[in-house]
Chains A and B, each alone.
Chain A
C-alpha cells in the first residue's frame, strides 16, 4: 500500500442526460490526471448523467456493472489510474429501484460502490422521490490505502464518516452536487468531518447550472487537522491535483485523539434517543 498518493479533483459541469458526452469528459480528465501522475481522480455526484434529471432518471440509470461502468473501467485500465464517479444505479433485482451511487474502479477493474444513505427531500431536493437509501457504509482496502465514501447530504450526518473511519478509512471521498445557497454549510462540514475523525477528506462538487440550481464547485482536500490543503475555484470547471501523505495521520491522531477518546456507550444512548425523537 502506498503511503503517499496523489489525488486529482475533477470539478466538472455534467451535461444533463448526455452520458456519452460526460463519459468523454471523464476520459479526458482521467488522461489529464494520469499526465500529472495522479493515482486517483474523483468526479462529482451523478457526474455521469447530471443532477437534475427528474423523470428521465429511469432511462438514464444503469446497473453496476453496466455499460458506463465498463467504459470507465476501460479508461482506468488504459490510464492505470483509479476513478471515482457518481451515477444513478438501477438495482439488478428490479426494474425501477434506483440508488444514488458512487462507483470506485481501478486499473484492475471494479473495486466497489457506495449507495447514498441520506437522500435530501426538502427545499429544492427530491431525491427520495426517485432513490432508495443505501444501507451500508463502504470502505475499500486498496493499493491507495483504505478509502471510505459518502455523498453530499451524508456529510450532515457524522455517523457515516465516523463509521467509515472506524472501519479504517484513511481517506474519505465525498462526492457532491451542492447548489450555491448551501456553500457555507459544506465548507464547515467538510472541515468538521475530516477533523473529528482525523482523516483526509476529498470533496468534489459539481459546477454548472441545472434548472436554476447553480452548483458552486469549491472542491477541496481537507487534512486530518481540518486544514484545506487544496481547493478548486468556485462556480467554474477546474482541475486540482494534491498529494496526500498518510504518515500525517499519526501526528494528527496524537494531537487530536478523538478516536482514542470515543465513548461507545453514548452510541447506545444516541440510538435510543433518535428512535424516540
Chain B
C-alpha cells in the first residue's frame, strides 16, 4: 500500500485544470439541457461566490442569475456587499428578494410551529430559498446550479431538499479548503475566499463552530476516510485523538440518507434508485 502522508499537501490540486474541467462541465450541461442559463443562490459566502464566478466565466454573466435571498433575522449587509463585489467583477446578474414575508407566512400557518426549535425553523429558511431559486429557474427556463462542497456534503451539513437542492453541483468534489484555493485562483478577493462559512439559518451561526472542527483538519480527516484509511491511521498521522476521527466518520456514515434519493422497498423487477440504472439524459 502507498504510504499516505496526511499533510495539507495532499489537498493540493492543479487549479487551472480543475477550473477548466468545472467550467466545461457547467457549459456542456447547460447546452445539453437546452436551458437558457443558470440560477443560483448567491449568499455572499465562499461557495456561492465561487460558483457564481465559475458559471459566469463558463457561459457568460448574462446567462447567470444570482439570487440574493436574505431574511431579517440573519440579514448581514456585509454578505450582500460581498455578493455584489463578485457579481460585478464576474458580470453575473443579480436579483434581491427579501424572503421574510414568506417565512412569516410559514411560521403563522404551521399549527405546531415552535420558534424555539431553531433547527426546524432554520430548515424552513433553506427550503424557502430553494423554492425561490426553482421558481426563477422554471420561469426563465434555466437550471439550478448548486454550490455544495465536499466537506459539507460528506458531513451532511446541509438542509435536506434545501440548500443542497440543485440540478448540478459543480464543486461537490472539492473540499472546503480546496474551494478556497480555487476561489483565489479564479480571482475572488482573498478576504472573501477566507471568509468564515455560515448556512445563515440563525443569527451568528458559524459552520466551524457547529461542526466542532476547523476545515483544515476536517478536510484531512475526510480525505483519509475517502482513501479507506482507518481512524487509527488518520489519528496517528494528524496527532489527534482517535475519538475525534471516529466522530467525523460516524457522522459521515450516519447521513447517507441525505445524499441519496429516498429508499423504497424492493418489490419488482427493476426499482427506481437501486437497479433502474439509466444514463443521465442531459450529460
Binding site for B on A (CB under 8 A): 16-17, 50, 52-56, 126, 129, 180, 209-212, 214, 235
Contact = CB atoms under 8 A, between A and B. Distances in A.
Contacts of A16: 279
B107 interface: no
Interface centre among B25, B270, B277, B279 (most CB of A within 10 A): B279
A17 B29 CA distance: 17
B24 interface: yes
B283 A17 contact: no
Contacts of B29: 209
B278 interface: yes
Nearest to A180: B21
Nearest to B280: A211
B173 to A, nearest CB: 9
A54 B275 CA distance: 10
A179 B279 CA distance: 16
A214 B21 CA distance: 8
Contact of B283 (A55, A180, A209): A209
Given A209-B28, A235-B24, 4 more contacts: A52-B279, A53-B279, A55-B276, A211-B280
A129 B283 CA distance: 21
Interface of B: 21, 24-25, 28-29, 270, 276-280, 283
A169 to B, nearest CB: 34
Contacts of A126: 277
A54 B279 contact: yes
Contacts of A50: 279
A212 B279 contact: no
A126 B283 CA distance: 18
Contacts of B276: 55
B59 to A, nearest CB: 15
Contacts of A54: 277-279
Contact of A212 (B25, B270, B277, B278): B25
A16 to B, nearest CB: 6
Given A55-B270, A209-B283, A214 B278 contact: no
Interface centre among A53, A209, A210 (most CB of B within 10 A): A209
A210 B283 contact: yes
A212 B276 CA distance: 18
B24 A17 contact: no
Contact of A55 (B21, B25, B277, B280): B277
A121 to B, nearest CB: 13
Nearest to A183: B17
Nearest to A211: B280
A55 B28 contact: no
A17 B277 CA distance: 14
A211 B25 CA distance: 10
A210 B25 contact: no
Q: Give the 3 A-B residue pairs with the shortest CB-CB distance, closest first.
A: A54-B277, A211-B280, A55-B277
Contact of A214 (B25, B277, B280): B25
22 contacts: A16-B279, A17-B279, A52-B280, A53-B279, A54-B277, A54-B278, A55-B276, A55-B277, A56-B278, A56-B279, A126-B277, A180-B21, A209-B24, A209-B25, A209-B28, A209-B29, A210-B279, A210-B283, A211-B280, A214-B24, A214-B25, A235-B24
Contacts of A214: 21, 24-25
A144 to B, nearest CB: 35
Contact of B279 (A129, A180, A211, A235): A211
Nearest to A216: B21
A52 B277 CA distance: 10
A113 B24 CA distance: 35
A55 B24 contact: no
